[in-house]
Chain A
């Protein structure tokens, strides 16, 4: 069965880019434009991995991460940030991976493969 990834980002252009690129890799992709929307989607659909932007208006990524990990302990979450090299907030320790946003998605795809591979 195809793995399902939920992409959470407030930037429409990036959401579409992620969707196309990740679908090319053979994954199914769900999109959410805000932290609130992502939690709704998680309640309804079965998701295998969450790709989460930290900086969002409204509920930010760190808050979403906290709620996700409370409810779905084993669901892997990859945090995306604008800060290269930094752990932006101590709330981010709970994430499974930490990725610096870049137009080159190679590292991201590699990380997703590793995490989904481990879970099988």
Chain B
């Protein structure tokens, strides 16, 4: 009796040692598998762990038998399912000439005569099973079976700890990532303030420069070589002015006045502005409206700027003619406007960047058109998406439909536009 007790403690101590050791869960399970096979005199021990959808996946196996064949049991399959159903030990002996064990087929038992399966865990929730296989017929004494239960419980605790630790690590990493993001958004805010001040400070002297350059140009006699330089200066100043205007617009988050409006009217007004350009470039405009009115809460001036930028891009992509299609409709809780052109679309290599400030493929572009459109739309709690479709690009703008429910009038901070 004394000897048996000390042997029991021997196994438990060894399993404890494995559980307390460092390393990955897989490593420790593999050591535990070797230990189980050795201590209980089976040819092989395997650990299967529960994954998604109730399937059991092989996590570790001691060498001894070929493990190929069963790497995974689906929900309700094989002896593991029987053990988990029962919530206790399943001991099965192969009946000569039969393919079934305990009434279920189990392809993992090829060449095996005795199998023991014990569920890991307790209280109806199991994290997996421990699976012992022997070529020869063998059986465990009741005392050894009890010992197997205790050792399995230890293994189950080890697994649970590892899972908890993993969860903890993931949560910690997420927290750190979030903290980093917060810090960088604070930096961005400070940067935004700085940029706004700079844009204002640069603007006034720039206007003087541009104005005097224009005066000088008028005063130089025609044919004077200086005219070319002055012309160049004016152009460059004009370009900086355009960028400054863009930045100031981009940074002006708090100027929105939300009023009940009709998306159809906003879109129509935006299209009106470009009437001359459409005919100058031979662009046919197709305007369709499915639902009227499309009630939205909007700052009309801002929303028009958003559409101006999108339509301007479409025109610039069709300078030698094409077709612009603008469709407004309602889709669930959203009023939707779709602006599609036939200007060849956006290079797939660029499409991920077009909402980034200063991204441009145009010689005289500022790259602020779409970022401005995006920031205005997201501050209206809407979204903008882009995709290449047909012979051009298609922009979809969604704004919360406010015909039925009332919407909070708080504006949201801007987010990045989406590519689909």
Point out residues on A near B: beta carbons under 8 Å: 11, 13-14, 16-17, 20-21, 55, 82-88, 100-105
Contacts and interface: CB of A to CB of B under 8 A. Distances in A.
Contacts of A84: 245, 248-249
B252 A103 contact: no
Interface string B180-215: 000000000000000000001001111111111111
Nearest to A100: B245
B243 interface: no
A103 B215 contact: no
B412 to A, nearest CB: 19
B420 interface: no
Interface size grouping (class) on chain B: 20 to 34
Contact of B237 (A14, A55, A86, A103): A103
A17 B211 contact: yes
Contact of B210 (A20, A82, A88, A104): A104
B211 A21 contact: yes
Given A85-B304, A102-B210, A102-B241, 17 more contacts: A17-B215, A20-B215, A55-B200, A82-B203, A83-B249, A83-B252, A84-B248, A84-B249, A86-B301, A88-B255, A101-B203, A103-B207, A103-B211, A103-B241, A104-B210, A104-B214, A104-B238
Nearest to A14: B208
Contacts of B213: 103
For B204, B206, B213, B248, the residue with the greatest tally of chain A CB atoms inside 10 Å of its CB is B204
Contacts of A88: 255
B204 A11 contact: yes
A83 B245 CA distance: 7
Contacts of A11: 204-205, 208
Nearest to A20: B215
30 contacts: A11-B205, A11-B208, A13-B208, A14-B204, A14-B207, A14-B211, A16-B208, A17-B211, A21-B211, A82-B200, A83-B248, A83-B252, A84-B245, A84-B249, A85-B304, A85-B305, A86-B252, A86-B255, A86-B301, A87-B301, A88-B255, A101-B204, A101-B207, A102-B241, A103-B206, A103-B209, A103-B211, A103-B238, A104-B210, A104-B238
B220 to A, nearest CB: 15
Contacts of A86: 252, 255, 301-302
Interface in B200-250: 200, 203-215, 237-238, 241, 245, 248-249
A68 to B, nearest CB: 22
Contacts of B206: 103
Interface in B233-290: 237-238, 241, 245, 248-249, 252, 255
A21 B216 CA distance: 11
